[in-house]
A = this chain, B = another copy of it.
Amino acid sequence: MSASVHHVLTVLRDSFTHHALSTEAGELESHAVDKGPLEHWQVHAPLAVVFAESAQDVQKLVRLSAEHGFPVITRGAGTSVSGGANTTAGSVVLNLTRMNRILAMRAEDEVAVVEPGVINADLNTAAAEHGLMYAPDPASYRTSTIGGNVATNAGGLRCAKYGVTRDSVLALDVVLADGTLIHTGQATFKGVAGYDLTSLFVGSEGTLGIVVGVTVRLRHLSRHTETIAAFFGELTTAAQGVLDIGRARVQPAITELLDHRTMLALDEAQGSDLAQRGNTLLLIQTDGHGASIEAEIIRKVLSGLGAEVSAPGSTESERLIELRRHARGDGIVTEVRVGEDVAVPRSRLVDYIRAIEDLAEEHQVQLKVVAHAGDGNLHPTFSVPSSEIEPLAGPEPSAQDRESDDDGASSQTVSALSRLHAALDGSVRIALEMGGTITGEHGIGTYKLRWLSWEQSAEVIELQRSIKNVFDPDHRLNPGRAIL
């Protein structure tokens, strides 16, 4: 242990109670990485983990960071799939999950004020008592925190109708890099005083300040929803169905598209027979007072295209939506996979899926696709069998180390990873060529930094750097992510 590390640890122990500070090896390891792919990342265990219980704790840590020069990696539940919470060398992790109080639930104003560690599902449970909901619903909603959702501007299934996290955040309390606590935004639905600092913090992945309080807008929890499952013989027809629903001027709360391989994977995991019933599955949910009218229009539109459409009141459709929410396949250990998160104009859905199917074939990688089809946000998952490469889960040597150190197995290793990366790179390029973006809702984190300059011009990259320098000139807050 170097003298400076020793000094930082001494200072931390002097400042935080035993309960609030951990340097235990297992804790450090579990805080070193999140749920993102690791093959581009050099894992460093943090020096320590601080479990803040108040904004004052956060301010204290940030001031120590300023004084002693260590980076602070802020973390909620660590559910980022982009490496947004991976630690960097010599850093201290700030864990906000103990700041999990709902400070206010103002049902008449349809507004709540929460600490950043509140779990998305817990806020929804509390809001539901008042007939309200917090709309953004990332797949991780049962475990991810509102603070983490704010950091990544998280999306979810309901976004085409209800917007993303940014659209539900009215105001923020933020600890700046010098320890100052500021308040941005307003508690009202509208407000245009000064620059929109609130939106600037949302999605900035903790690189501009540490969010310690969030004022959110709630929405009406629908008393009635209708869910439709529609099986199509062809992907093309299913995508046409999505556009035709729009043309019928129906805005579903949820419009999920599952390709055939996703259906097969669900069948394997659940013992269902989805893949026998069609090539592509659309799962659609309508809500609000017009839910039944809208569902009826949708059933008619999709039946007209030849789909096998579930009857009104089908309970299978409801169950399929829940399955879809948890369709990441994290349990599967026989393959190494990277889930992508591009978005394209939704009229290009078919073109995009066709193009990446070709890509998968070209590079001999497996591909399955689910899409939030209503907003053109796709999650293609590319994978190669684990048997072809070293396991990638958990801390590991960097790719560089591995290449130089490995023995005869390395040519196959490099080859499988290279194929995977070639497919990923290609899928991102195609999304950009179609007028899309490299990340619809997961964020850049550390994993997607290498693609950012494909989307952003040098001038935009430079502007972002200048903004970072205004907020965090010493680059101590979540350095090395979100921007180049």
* Minimum CB–CB distance for A148 against chain B, Å: 13
Given contacts A108-B246, A294-B289, A436-B186, contact A153 B194 (CB under 8 A): no
Q: How far is the CA of A346 from the CA of B246 in the complex (A)?
A: 32
- The residue in chain B whose Cβ has the minimal distance to the Cβ of A377 is B190
Contact of A289 among B184, B199, B297 (CB under 8 A): B297
Interchain residue pairs with CB less than 8 A apart (8):
A106-B347, A108-B347, A110-B246, A111-B345, A186-B437, A195-B482, A222-B249, A466-B470
A233 at the interface (CB under 8 A from B): no
Q: How many of these chains are in the complex?
A: 2
What does the 1/0 interface line of A210-224 toward B look like (CB < 8 Å)?
A: 000000000111110
Q: How far is the CA of A463 from the CA of B466 in the complex (A)?
A: 13
Collect the chain B residues with CB atoms within 8 Å of residue A372's CB.
190
* Minimum CB–CB distance for A239 against chain B, Å: 11
A16 at the interface (CB under 8 A from B): no
Q: How far is the CA of A382 from the CA of B439 in the complex (A)?
A: 48
What does the 1/0 interface line of A344-362 toward B look like (CB < 8 Å)?
A: 1111000000000000000
A443 at the interface (CB under 8 A from B): yes
- The residue in chain B whose Cβ has the minimal distance to the Cβ of A348 is B109
Given A159-B190, A189-B377, A463-B470, 9 more A-B residue pairs with CB atoms under 8 Å apart are A106-B345, A109-B376, A155-B190, A166-B199, A189-B376, A190-B437, A192-B444, A193-B438, A194-B452
Q: Give the contacts of A235-272 with B (CB-CB under 8 A).
A: 243, 246-247, 249-251
Q: Are B346 and A109 in contact (CB under 8 A)?
A: yes
**The 6 residue pairs across chains A and B that have the minimum distance between CB atoms:** A290-B290, A199-B199, A289-B290, A189-B375, A190-B440, A188-B343
Q: Are A436 and B187 in contact (CB under 8 A)?
A: yes
Collect the chain B residues with CB atoms within 8 Å of residue A415's CB.
none
Interface-located stretch among A6-14, A22-30, A332-340, A453-461: A453-461
Interface-located stretch among A92-100, A175-183, A317-325, A395-403: A175-183
A464 at the interface (CB under 8 A from B): yes
Q: Give the contacts of A443-484 with B (CB-CB under 8 A).
A: 443-444, 448, 452, 455-457, 459-461, 463-464, 466-467, 470-471, 482-483
Collect the chain B residues with CB atoms within 8 Å of residue A467's CB.
195, 467, 470
Q: Are A243 and B108 in contact (CB under 8 A)?
A: yes
* Minimum CB–CB distance for A292 against chain B, Å: 9
- The residue in chain B whose Cβ has the minimal distance to the Cβ of A290 is B290
A308 at the interface (CB under 8 A from B): no
Q: Give the contacts of A267-319 with B (CB-CB under 8 A).
A: 288-291, 293-294, 297
* Minimum CB–CB distance for A451 against chain B, Å: 8
Collect the chain B residues with CB atoms within 8 Å of residue A176's CB.
459, 463
Collect the chain B residues with CB atoms within 8 Å of residue A197's CB.
460, 463-464
Collect the chain B residues with CB atoms within 8 Å of residue A65's CB.
none
* Minimum CB–CB distance for A154 against chain B, Å: 8
Interface-located stretch among A70-78, A200-208, A419-427: A200-208
Collect the chain B residues with CB atoms within 8 Å of residue A438's CB.
193
Contact of A188 among B189, B222, B436, B443 (CB under 8 A): B436
Given contacts A160-B189, A243-B108, A246-B108, contact A464 B194 (CB under 8 A): yes
Q: What interface size band does chain A fall in? A: 35 or more
Collect the chain B residues with CB atoms within 8 Å of residue A180's CB.
459
Q: How far is the CA of A183 from the CA of B192 in the complex (A)?
A: 23
Collect the chain B residues with CB atoms within 8 Å of residue A195's CB.
200, 203-204, 208, 464, 467, 482-483
Q: Are A249 and B183 in contact (CB under 8 A)?
A: no
A329 at the interface (CB under 8 A from B): no
Collect the chain B residues with CB atoms within 8 Å of residue A444's CB.
192-194
A435 at the interface (CB under 8 A from B): yes
Collect the chain B residues with CB atoms within 8 Å of residue A343's CB.
186, 188-191
Q: How far is the CA of A199 from the CA of B190 in the complex (A)?
A: 14
A368 at the interface (CB under 8 A from B): no
A163 at the interface (CB under 8 A from B): yes
A441 at the interface (CB under 8 A from B): yes
Contact of A376 among B182, B188, B377 (CB under 8 A): B188
Q: Give the contacts of A148-164 with B (CB-CB under 8 A).
A: 152-153, 155, 159-160, 163-164
Q: Are A460 and B194 in contact (CB under 8 A)?
A: yes
A69 at the interface (CB under 8 A from B): no
Q: How far is the CA of A105 from the CA of B346 in the complex (A)?
A: 14
Collect the chain B residues with CB atoms within 8 Å of residue A183's CB.
457, 460
* Minimum CB–CB distance for A270 against chain B, Å: 28
